[in-house]
Amino acid sequence: MEPDRTPATPADLPHARPLRQSLDMVRRAVRSHGLWHPGDRVLVACSGGPDSMGLLALLVALQPSLGHTLAVAHVDHGLRPESGAVAAQVRLLAESLALPVAVVRVVLTPGAQVEARARDERYRALARVRGDLGCACAATAHHTDDLAETLLLRMARGAGPDALAGIRRMREDGVVRPALDLDRSQLAAWARWAGWLATADLDPMNRDARHARTRVRSDALPALERALPGAVRGLARTADALAQHDGALDGWIRLALGTRIVEDPAHRSMVVDLAGVALDRPCALALVRHLASRLGTAAPSLRALDNVWRWHQRGRRTPCYVHGLLVTTAGTGWRIVARDVADPAPAD
């Protein structure tokens, strides 16, 4: 997978206005949100698809102005026969750019929630590689279309405000999304300019109409955009505004509870002391969402949050199982543990 050319120096940068605009947008996002700083090494999560290859081309081009260095990580889930070949292609591309590269193979069993389990394993693998390679953060290629798709899906399922916030620019585990202001076509344009689009891996799962996200991408969003031009970016702005609101709420929870929250990373758990805390339903729901986010689990559904609230009101005598979480009594408060979504447990 030899690229036709590599955007490695300012002299190589494109003069086409759309490419320059997307370059400027990502540069502003990195600086204004403090995603990383000059001298940092940034780990680029590269699936081999056009989105991540476009992001890699962009971040190579931004090295002179932002002052970062790069490394590449690829997580092979082993779910497709061609996954080994894609991993090899990503390794060759990184080596052609003289970038440190790590290819991680994770073992997943087919079955329920395989996509959610793959996502969890992918983020755990990125965290390990980030530490091994001394990277300040790990950048993923999420973009405006992803934001809009996620918001629409979660609105249709009746999600809470933190879930509607969707894809955050910065996660607590060091994952950042520098391209959230770009759309899919803008990232693909960078992969095309670098000469990598023709060799990008097009995952058939992304075109499989059995998946709800595929149907939203191919049917719902185009129809909405035709009816209301600019709707996709409007949805993305809404998700971003909700993320900022939820981030402020998280900040207030940290300030209010401070040392009452004790983390145990080895067991992926937290204990929160609620002695003397007047906990009503909205506060309890916000607290569970906050703790779930800090544990790196998916945002709980409104139904799951209500289950925790009812469990709390009933006196917390037995464990409370919700999707991805186990909540139990701990002294005058709660202990909340992240669980594999495939673990057997009572229904939400």
Mean local confidence (pLDDT), 205-217: 70
Q: Are strands 69-76 and 101-105 parallel, antiparallel or unpaired?
A: parallel
Domains by residue range for the chain, with CATH: 10-142+177-227 (3.40.50.620), 244-338 (no CATH)
pLDDT: which is higher, 260 or 298: 260
- Residue 14 is predicted with a pLDDT of 61
Alpha carbon distance, N-terminus to C-terminus of the chain: 46
Quick check: 50 pLDDT over 70? yes
User: Mind listing the pLDDT tens digit for each residue in 71-122?
Assistant: 999 998 766 777 788 899 999 999 999 999 999 988 776 655 667 777 888 8
Quick check: 322 pLDDT over 60? yes
User: Mind listing the pLDDT tens digit for each residue in 131-142?
Assistant: 999 999 999 999
- Residue 29 is predicted with a pLDDT of 95
Question: CA-to-CA distance for 231 and 224, rounded, in angstroms?
Answer: 7
Quick check: 249 pLDDT over 70? yes
Q: Which residues pair with 79 in a beta bridge?
A: none
pLDDT: which is higher, 20 or 340: 20
Q: Which residues pair with 44 in a beta bridge?
A: 72, 139
Lowest mean pLDDT among 153-167, 263-277, 329-343: 153-167
Which DSSP category does 301 fall into? P
- Residue 342 is predicted with a pLDDT of 47
Residue 308's CB is within 10 A of a number of other CB atoms, namely 23
Question: CA-to-CA distance for 187 and 195, rounded, in angstroms?
Answer: 13
pLDDT: which is higher, 166 or 250: 250
Q: Are strands 320-322 and 325-330 parallel, antiparallel or unpaired?
A: antiparallel
Ramachandran class of 280: left when φ > 0, alpha when ψ lies in -120 to 50, beta otherwise: beta
Quick check: 6 pLDDT over 60? no
